[in-house]
Structure formats: structure tokens, C-alpha cells
């Protein structure tokens, strides 16, 4: 028997760009023909959600908006065209909520590039509510043995860094610098990198983040960007032959490292840009980039296959990144800490309080 779905639910809503988020009761939506309704139990809080509140990207959000795109929960209802989900299945609401499935990009499984892609917690309501809608074709399938709080951060941060590491072309045994290593994406990046046989140098700041990166997440070196006299030199010196890391994964929310990475990456190395600091520009010296044959590229979330693979790493138990759980009602406090760069790892909100 299908579970009882209430008429009303608790949600965090932004009425206008700039915030604040308001914790209040709103109606539960009904799924359309090709959609599922997910009873969200936990949702990770990504820095993208803060960009959405602040409206600092050149892409407007819907308003009013329910943010959130790392939602993990259970399917409680579905539209009449959905025949490959069961009530009670674990489902994940990820950033790509839906796409057209027929454009040039969707045809080659590049659905994040679809011009009609629906973005959870940005152009459609997301997972900072108890009941969230997702397109059945795009919702992530979460195996029943996974715990929903732990897997929530995988649904954006995990998928994104796993894809970014694949895009970097780094091979087992090679070294990757993770810039912004102490944050949500960065902490998962070190875990995926380790599971993929890569060695990591963590770049971030502060003793808490250093301890987490070195003792819990598997990095063999830490460079503190705030106290280092010369980040470029320190990163290169942290590699065994002093020539720099084979790849750089940029997940910081600050322009400066985007203008430094090409300087310390190894000849033939790849710089993968993932973080999206507001109004930032990439910059690299033409001379060195050419004679070092450096590749600089962007990487944007992942497709359905990347998502399934990233989830499978978690299911196997090889991805363990720290997270703290607080009630959904405390979302603003999480944003305040995030704004100050004071979160080591990820916060996950529990939608029951």
C-alpha cells in the first residue's frame, strides 16, 4: 500500500535573492506523469546552495525557491508513465533534476550540457523540503544498504569530484592537488582519488582541515594557502621529483587559486576547474602554458552513469568523508559557517526537525 503523503510539509524557502531562508510549512506538490515524489530524509548542503541564495552567478534562480540538490530519501508516489521505480525505493535528488533526453548533448549522455536541463534547488524546487519531485529518468538509484545521511553528499559533491578526477586523466600512482580540500567537494575528492589509486596533496587552510585531510582523508601533504609564503613553490616541492602534480582539481570558492594552478601543474598536466567563485576569471601565463603543454578545462557535475558509479564506490565502503547532521530548521546557521569558510567536510540536514 502506498504511504500516506501529507498535504503540507516543512521546507526552507527563499522569497527573494539575497535571502534569508525561511523555515515554514508549504504544500506538498503532486508528481507529473514522468516524475517521482521523494520523501527526503537527508540533504547535503553544497556551496552552490549558498550561491543560489546570494544570486551571485550569471544565471537567475526561480523565486520563491526551495534550495538543495543532495537529497536522499524514499519514493512515496509517482506519475502514471513511471514504471521502473517502486514505492519504497531509495532515490537521490541530484543537481540535474531532468533534461530533454533528445538534444545533441543528451543523445551522447552529456545531459548536464542540455540547454533545457532542470536544476534542483535552482530552476526547480530542491531537497530542502520533506517531499521533493524529480524526473524518474534522472533520479539517482540508491541501494538499500546505503545509509541516507552518509550518501547525501555523494549526490552532488561525490559525483562532481569523481567526474572531475576522470576528466583530469590522472592515472593510478600519479599525484593530484586538491584545492579547497577541506570543504565538501574537496574532502570527497581526496577519498575518490585514493580509491582510484591516486596520491593527493591537499590545499586549504587551518589546523582542523589539515588534520582531517592528512589523518582521515588520505592526503600525504597539506599546503596552507593562508600562511604559505609561496603556494606554487610549496605545491611543487610536495611532489616526489619537484616537478608538480599531474593534475589539479580546483574546488575552492576563490579566484586566486584559479590563477595559480597552471603555474604549479606538471608539464603535460591538467587543471580541472570545478569551483564557481562569483565573477571569477581564469588566468594562466601563455608562455609557460604552451611550453609545458598544460591542459585547462572545466568539469560540471556528472551524467547518470557517472552518478551510478560514484554511488557504487560509496556502497562498497571505500568512500568515507566526514559530515555533521543538523535539523533542516538550522540551515541558515550552516550557511553562516560556510560563508566564513569554517566547515571542515560537509553538513547534512535532517528534514525531520
CA–CA separation, 215 and 213 (whole Å): 6
CA distances, 172 to each of 138, 165, 202, 247 (Å): 30, 11, 17, 12
If one asks whether residue 256 binds ligand 8ID (CB under 6 A), the answer comes out as: yes
The neighbouring-strand residues paired with 140 are: 92
If one asks whether residue 234 binds ligand 8ID (CB under 6 A), the answer comes out as: no
**Which contiguous run of DSSP H or E holds residue 178?**
strand 175-179
Within residues 123-182, the interface with Zn ion by CB under 5 A covers 156
* CB closer to Zn ion, 221 vs 338: 338
* CB closer to Zn ion, 52 vs 77: 52
If one asks whether residue 47 binds ligand 8ID (CB under 6 A), the answer comes out as: yes
Binding window for Zn ion (CB under 5 A); candidates: 39-47, 203-211, 233-241, 331-339: 39-47
Provide, rounded to whole angstroms, the least separation between the CB of residue 324 and ligand 8ID.
12
- Using Cβ positions, the residue closest to ligand 8ID within the complex turns out to be 183
* CB closer to ligand 8ID, 89 vs 234: 234
Residue 62's nearest CA partner among 17, 96, 111 is 17
Alpha-carbon dihedral angle through residues 155, 167, 246, 238, given to the nearest 10 degrees: -10
* CB closer to ligand 8ID, 39 vs 99: 99
If one asks whether residue 204 binds ligand 8ID (CB under 6 A), the answer comes out as: yes
Provide, rounded to whole angstroms, the least separation between the CB of residue 30 and ligand 8ID.
29
The neighbour count for residue 252, using CB atoms within 10 Å, is 27
Within residues 164-183, the interface with ligand 8ID by CB under 6 A covers 179-180, 182-183
* CB closer to ligand 8ID, 76 vs 193: 193
Pair 183, 75: CB distance under 8 Å: no
Residues whose CB is less than 8 angstroms from the CB of residue 35 and which lie 6 or more positions away in sequence, other chains included: 78, 79, 82, 133, 134, 135, 136
CA distances, 144 to each of 72, 129, 133 (Å): 12, 22, 20
Could you list the beta-strand ranges (E) of 51-95: 65-66, 71-78, 90-93
Binding window for ligand 8ID (CB under 6 A); candidates: 76-84, 191-199, 254-262, 314-322: 254-262
Binding window for ligand 8ID (CB under 6 A); candidates: 46-54, 79-87, 101-109, 212-220: 46-54
If one asks whether residue 339 binds ligand 8ID (CB under 6 A), the answer comes out as: no
Residues in the interface with ligand 8ID (CB under 6 A) total 32
The neighbour count for residue 42, using CB atoms within 10 Å, is 25
Provide, rounded to whole angstroms, the least separation between the CB of residue 266 and Zn ion.
29
Binding window for ligand 8ID (CB under 6 A); candidates: 21-29, 43-51, 59-67, 313-321: 43-51
Residue 182's nearest CA partner among 118, 254, 263, 125 is 254
The neighbour count for residue 333, using CB atoms within 10 Å, is 12
Residue 272's nearest CA partner among 169, 159, 157 is 169
Residues contributing to the site for Zn ion (CB under 5 A): 46, 48, 156
Rule CB under 6 A: which residues touch ligand 8ID?
46-48, 51, 156, 160, 179-180, 182-186, 203-205, 225, 251-254, 256-257, 274-276, 299-301, 338, 341, 343
Amino acid at each position: 500500500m502506498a504511504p500516506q503523503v501529507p498535504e503540507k510539509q516543512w521546507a526552507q524557502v527563499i522569497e527573494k535573492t539575497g535571502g534569508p531562508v525561511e523555515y515554514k510549512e508549504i504544500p506538498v506538490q503532486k508528481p507529473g506523469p514522468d516524475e517521482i515524489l521523494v520523501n527526503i530524509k537527508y540533504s547535503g548542503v553544497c556551496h552552490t546552495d549558498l550561491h543560489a541564495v546570494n544570486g551571485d552567478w550569471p544565471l537567475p534562480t526561480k523565486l520563491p525557491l526551495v534550495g538543495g540538490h543532495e537529497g536522499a530519501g524514499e519514493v512515496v508516489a509517482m506519475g502514471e508513465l513511471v514504471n521502473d521505480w517502486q514505492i519504497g525505493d531509495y532515490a537521490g535528488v541530484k543537481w540535474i533534476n531532468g533534461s530533454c533526453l533528445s538534444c545533441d548533448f543528451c543523445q551522447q549522455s552529456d545531459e548536464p550540457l542540455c540547454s533545457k536541463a532542470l536544476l534542483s534547488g535552482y530552476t526547480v524546487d530542491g531537497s530542502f523540503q520533506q517531499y521533493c519531485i524529480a524526473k524518474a529518468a534522472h533520479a539517482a538509484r540508491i541501494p538499500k544498504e546505503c545509509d541516507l545521511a552518509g550518501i547525501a553528499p555523494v549526490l552532488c559533491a561525490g559525483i562532481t569530484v569523481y567526474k572531475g578526477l576522470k576528466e583530469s586523466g590522472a592515472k593510478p600512482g600519479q599525484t593530484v592537488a586538491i584545492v579547497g580540500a577541506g570543504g565538501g567537494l574537496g574532502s570527497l575528492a581526496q577519498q575518490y582519488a585514493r580509491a582510484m589509486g591516486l596520491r593527493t596533496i591537499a590545499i586549504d587552510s587551518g589546523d582542523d582541515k589539515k588534520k582531517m585531510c592528512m589523518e582521515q582523508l588520505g592526503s600525504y601533504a597539506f599546503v596552507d594557502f593562508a600562511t604559505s609564503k609561496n603556494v606554487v613553490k610549496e605545491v611543487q616541492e610536495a611532489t616526489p621529483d619537484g616537478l608538480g602534480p599531474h593534475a589539479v582539481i580546483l574546488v575552492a570558492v576563490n579566484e586566486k587559486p584559479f590563477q595559480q594552478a597552471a603555474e604549479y601543474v606538471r608539464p603535460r598536466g591538467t587543471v580541472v576547474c570545478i569551483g564557481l567563485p562569483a565573477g571569477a576569471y581564469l588566468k594562466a601565463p601563455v608562455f609557460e602554458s604552451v611550453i609545458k603543454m598544460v591542459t585547462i578545462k572545466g568539469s560540471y557535475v556528472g551524467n547518470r552513469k557517472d552518478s551510478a558509479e560514484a554511488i557504487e564506490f560509496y556502497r562498497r565502503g571505500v568512500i568515507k568523508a566526514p559530515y555533521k547532521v543538523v535539523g533542516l530548521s538550522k540551515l541558515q546557521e550552516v550557511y553562516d559557517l560556510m560563508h566564513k569558510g569554517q566547515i571542515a567536510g560537509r553538513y547534512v540536514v535532517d528534514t525531520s526537525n
